[in-house]
Structure formats: structure tokens, C-alpha cells
Structure 1
């Protein structure tokens, strides 16, 4: 057994043997943090009580519009996005979608600059492996560019400034975060997706229905942050079945319903979802856990302390463009350390349960078996810690949290405050949790 792991595990065990007085005193600091968690039987889920942005007349072709958030570039530097916790039990493979509040289509957070800089590095180094398009993808990409531009100008009026509106000839916009002037005057000097990536930190997939067979195909994509082995050059022009061929249980559970669902999607009703996996680094293009050599992954996994592990949440949205009827799929990866979630009720228990008892196809797809034995002792220590602190007990049912897919401390109606979402846990240090500098160091080995 790895000596570093033995030492860390020993320290965790030793930490459990606190005096009763120490445990009691520490527990008091959590009183206000957890007082409402188990006090209700049927709390509203975020998507049930969320403020709606949808048109009252029910016109399916009218996209919802965002409300302004008056946040400045300086405030963004310390701004946390919604805290995702997409952990559920029982763990089944489903689309797991729910209505998107359009205010959160293109979210903002303190990692914005890192994402934009990393996009530029990836375009220069990898090119068509991460961005590509077909001729038929140009018009929907142009419509997407216009929609992203208009959305950001309205949602973040202090972050994006309209310098010149030339009507049908395009717009000139200043990105106040990067200080870049983005000239989208027609004819464009670059592909529309290149302008989109200079403003939004998300990955974008453009999917169109082929009138010949009535099926949906990937016609354009700017995906610098797939996380795993997803290469655009191998997927462009392919049908959804080919794109999802590696997704476990897709053919058994999702294939038949996905085409029908894409057909029914309307511009007025965008949706969102989130998936996740675990890793020890913060690389956006490809995390270490998805290297091809599984033996190398196992060795690298053991070289990191279990406390260094984090959850990579893939926050995704789906919406349909009103003119071209193209479907836009976005993805925005966010990392959350296990340490910052260790005092959130049931989170360590859910992680421990899922990495060992999820369906076998999911375990292999997310590479749980390559590192789970390395971090299991750490998770067991956190579970016992929650019991010692009175956060949970032996009779607490292991199930999907009532506030899924978000942290239990988030208000269901998502107040739009300029300060972002602040984790109130005594174990959370907002400044320390910023992994930007660490992520830059990790790129040396890219």
C-alpha cells in the first residue's frame, strides 16, 4: 500500500478520536448551517419554485429573455456560480433534465478568465480536434453568435458593452472582462463560433435535423473542454447515435426517446442537466483520469492525496434556435473539491455508495474502479466525521437530496445577487478554493 496513503489514512483515523467536548464544541458551529436540512418532509425543488422567464402566451417560437444582473468585472473575480451537487441514489442512466431559467443559460464565475485563455491555447495547439464545422453548420452558427451576443449584452450590461449596432451588418462589442473589442461586422473575418468562444466560456455543439431522413446530426462544434477523449474531428457530421456510442446504456434506455425529445423541443422551453465524474486535477481539455493507459492512471491516481480529489460537474443546457431550428447543446465544466463539500449532509456517503455500487457500465465509463480503493478510506473518515458531528446518524436514509441537483444551502428561487453564491460551511474557504493558479501549473504536463 502506498506509504503516503497510509500516513494520511492514519491521520484521518486519529482525528476521529477527539474528546467528547471537542466534538460538541465543533458541532455547535454547524447549528445554523444544518438546522433546516432535515426539518421538512417535502421541500420545493429548485426547478419547481424557480422564477419563470417564459412567455405567458405560450408561443413556442419565442425564446425567453434574461433579466439584467448588474455585476462588475471586479466582482466577477470573487464570484461563485450556482453550487451543483448532482449526486443521486439510486443511480440510473437517464437524461435527468429540467426547465432552464434563461438567466442561467450562460453563467458567470471567477474562472471566466482562465476558461477564455485556455480556449485560445487549445485552438492554437489542437485546432480541428476541438473546433470544426460543416458548410450546413454556418447559418445556425451565425444565429447562435447573434443569440449569445444579445444574451450577454442584456444579462451582463456591465461586462459587455455595445460599441456599435450596425443593424443587419452586425455589432461591435467590447468584452469588459478581457478588454477585447469584438468586431462582428459582416462579412465576418472568422467563423461565427470563433466569436462565440471569445465571449462565453461554455462549449457549444450545433445539431441540425436532416430533412432527408428526419434525424439529427452534429454540424458544428467548439468543444475545447470535453474532459475525456471526445474528439470533434471524429464526431462532426455524425448522427446522435454515433456521438453517444460510448455512453453506457444509451442504446438500451435513451436512443428511442432522444430523437423524439429533440423533435418536441421548442425555442421557448430550454432545459438543463448535469453529470459528473471524479478526478485529481483541474485540466479542462482532458483530465488525467481519462488517459488511455489504465495502468498509468492507477499509478498517477495513487500519487495524489485523497484530499486533492475533486468532482468535475458537467453543467449542460439544451435549447432550440427559432430561425434555423438548430439545437444548441452547451457544456460548462466546474470543479468542486471533496474537502469543500465534506460537511454537507450525505455527500461523502453518496460518493462512496456510487463509486462502488453504481451500474457496472457507469463505473467503467467514469473510471471509478481505477481510483476508488485509493480514496475509500478518506470517504469513510468523512462519513464517520459527519456522524460524530451530528450531521447524520446511522439511521439517516441514503437517498437523493431534496435540493438535488444543488447544494442544500442554496435558496430554491435563486436570488440574483451580485455577490454570487457563498457557501456558509465552516469548512469552506472561498479564497483557498480558487483553483485557477493550480490549474495553470497542471498544464505544464499537458
Structure 2
């Protein structure tokens, strides 16, 4: 009997020690998490744009991205993100969210899926998207007793838990951006646990990437193995909640398809049809942000495609020159990855004519060295020292010639069987 009592008391003491040890371990983990991911300064609240109404949004432009640089190197090229610009709005908002949801409805989980260990991150992302939109754009989005009212699309969104649809479906109906949700697993490496990517522009499909490590996700990215692999995993591990960043990449296309541009639809060895009008050529800028969520600890990668016609940029110093330089002389793997060989012989004569035009107009000199603009990654006419005023931005070429800027996505045409098309 005494042996039994002794064993019982020993078990009780062991349990108490285990509980105390576990609590200390949990406290240390929380302390380590706070020191690793939370800086002393909290992430500021976005500044409300009170004068941006649904009516004004129809002609509203966001910051004019021009992420063209020379020499061209494959780097992350990140900038500190002003939280006001995490989810930017522009005149294409309604068009984008309508098309994105049409793609998701037609393709199911091909472009939108969440793994069990990504559910908490997906719901947290939804909450943060709602919080940001209602605070930054208070006349476009307002909270309601059941969730949120979208005054641009007219949707009254029911966000009561449990949600009636996957969390990322609501996210897709609220933001123009695509989202990738990445989490660190027990092996200390980062994996894609959820994604809503109906507008990748190329060959990215969720099902062949979800659940995979960063290295697998970036298999096709040029020079990833040589230049980015080690630093990216290390950088993800160190990223703080209060230090969101942004970057932009770009490629050239001759359409405005969100899911897959024509350049990636061409078969190997095929080139753009020779009768393709130069006026159709666009630069598709993929504006991207990275931020860590405070509760789930997931890292959110967003991507927002923006189309700029080469025509509208032709009077901006060195834009045609850098485009030509990169298309012909960029790193070999980059040229192949972006499909430049599919149109370079067709487009270069047009770029040459624009370069000569800039020389004739005195915008540049023939012997000026080609280099990255001081205003990079924005247009030369955009003053990056000024805060966003809420007035929107208009390319000066169109204002100077008193022209109405053409709508690159055209007027949405709805077909009851096929849905809206670009």
C-alpha cells in the first residue's frame, strides 16, 4: 500500500513539474515569437480616403508603376510597404473581382484551395482584408450587422461564423489581388497552405503547388536555385508582422487576360502573329506585397496585375529604351521565362520608332546612357516624396492631348453561359 501511495505521489509531482515546465516552455515560445516577429512599433492604421466614392472610383487610377531597370538582375527588389497601399483601389476594381469569381466558379479548386493547416490563416486574412478595406475606403465598404456591405458591387456579404463558403471566396470578392498563404511547418521550412490565384497570368495552378515547399513553388523561376533559394527561406523566417514589403515584376503581352495571357498560351517555338497591332502591346506589371499575419503567423503574398499600354508610356523618358534593352539583352533565362523570344522581332522595330521619337522631341539624347530611372519603381512624373492625396493619378500623355484614356479591359460583355469576358 505504501508503495502504491508513493508511486501515486510521485506521479502527481511529475505531473505538476510537467505542467510548470510546459507553461515555462510556452512562455518562452511566446517571448521568442514576440522578439522574432513583432517589432516595438505597431503596424499603423490605414489613413481613410473619405473622398473616394463608388462614382469617383470609376475613373480613379492608382500609383503608376514602372518597374523597369537596367542593368537587369534577378533579385527580390523589395521596398518597405506603406500600409495605405496594401490593397490599392482603381477603376478596374469591379471588373477584376467579377472576372476572378467567374474563373473560380468555372474551375473549382484549380485556382482556389485551402489545406486544413491553412484554414486559420485564411480566416484571419479575410478579417484583416475586411478591416483594411473598411478603414482605408470607408465610403466603398462599411460593416453591417451580418458582415460587410460592398458599395461598389452592391453585395451584402454575410460573414457570420461558421462561414457559408470558403474564406478565400470572400477574399476574392473583396480584393483585386490574388493571395498565397505560406506557413512554417515542424521541419522549420515554409509551405504553401492556401491560395486564391485566379489571375496568375501564366502557368501557375494551385493544385500542383499547394502543400509544397517554397523551393517547389519557385521551380520555374529563373536563377532561383543560384541566387534566391537560401536567402528567401532565411528572409521568410525573419520577417516581422510590422514590416510588410512590396515589389513588382513585369512581362509584355498583347491582351488583357487575367488567368493566362496569350504569351503563355503559345506553343513552344510559336511567335506572335505578324499582323498583331502595336497598339495592343501592354506591359503587365505584377504588383506584389508580403506581410505576416499576427495570429496564425502565416506569411501572405499578394499579387495584383496592372496593365499599361506601351502607347501610353511612349513619352516617358527611357521607357522604350529600357524595354528594348531588356527584351534583347536581358539574362538568357529571364528572356525565355518571360517569353520575349515569341515577339521580340516583331516589337523591336516599334520600340526603335518610339526611341527615335523621344530623341526628335528632345525628351532624351541619342548618346544618353540607358539606366534605371531615379523615380524607380514609379513613373518619372510621379513624385514619390508626396503622400497619396486621394485624387488618383492620370498619365500626362492623355491629359496633354486632351484624350480620354482607353479602357484596356474594354466594356464587360456578359454571356449567361460563359460569364463575363475580357
**What is the aligned counterpart of 1:93 among 52, 74, 79?**
74
In structure 1, the residue corresponding to 2:138 is in which secondary structure? coil
Provide the rounded CA distance (Å) in 2 between the counterparts of 1:334 and 1:77.
16
Q: What RMSD, in angstroms, separates the aligned Cα atoms of the two structures?
A: 2.0
Number of corresponding residues: 380
Asked if 1:115 is matched to 2:90, the reply is: no
Correspondent of 2:255 among 248, 271, 281: 281
Q: Pairwise mapping of residues 336-375 of structure 1 onto structure 2 (< 5 A)?
A: 336-375=308-347
SS in 1 for 2:163: coil
Cα offset, 1:379, TM superposition:
0.4
Question: Contact (CA 8 Å) 1:87, 1:404: kept in 2 or not?
Answer: yes
Structure 1 position 77 matched with structure 2 position 58: yes
1:334 aligns with: 306
Query: Runs of 4 or more off by more than 2 Å in structure 1?
Result: 58-64, 300-303, 413-419, 425-433, 438-446
Give 2:35's aligned residue.
none
> Contact 1:60–1:267 (CA<8 Å) still a contact in 2?
no
Measured in 2, the distance between the counterparts of 1:443 and 1:289 equals: 23
Between the aligned partners of 1:257 and 1:428, the Cα distance in structure 2 is 47
SS at match of 2:237: helix
Change (3 A) 1:288 1:192: same
Please name the residue that 1:194 is paired with.
169
Structure 2 residue corresponding to 1:239, chosen from 208, 213, 218: 213
Contact 1:289 1:301 (C-alpha < 8 Å) held by counterparts:
no
Q: Deviations over 1:84-140 (max 9, x none)?
A: 000000000000001000000000000001101101210111111110110011001
User: Is 1:264 paired with 2:238?
Assistant: yes
TM-score (norm 1): 0.82
Higher mean C-alpha deviation, range 357-366 or range 287-296: 287-296
Is 1:230 matched up with 2:210? Answer: no
Corresponding residue of 1:321: 293
Farther-moved stretch of structure 1 (398-407 vs 434-443): 434-443
Q: Which has the higher contact order (CA 8 A, sep 6+)?
A: 1
Quote how far apart the aligned CAs of 1:359 are: 0.4
Aligned pair partner of 1:206 in 146, 163, 181 = 181
Q: Which sections of structure 2, spanning at least 5 residues, go unmatched?
A: 1-37
1:177 to 142, 148, 152: 152
1:196 to partner: Cα distance: 1.0
**Taking structure 1 as reference, are residues 308 and 401 closer, same or farther at Cα in structure 2, changes over 3 Å only?**
same
Contact 1:141 1:220 in 2 (8 A): yes
CA shift for structure 1 position 144: 0.6
Which entry has the higher C-alpha Rg, 1 or 2?
Answer: 2
Between the aligned partners of 2:41 and 2:123, the Cα distance in structure 1 is 18
Does the aligned pair in 1 maintain the 2:99–2:420 contact within 8 Å?
no
Structure 1: distance between partners of 2:199 and 2:401: 26
1:46 aligns with none
Q: CA shift at 1:439, angstroms?
A: 7.3
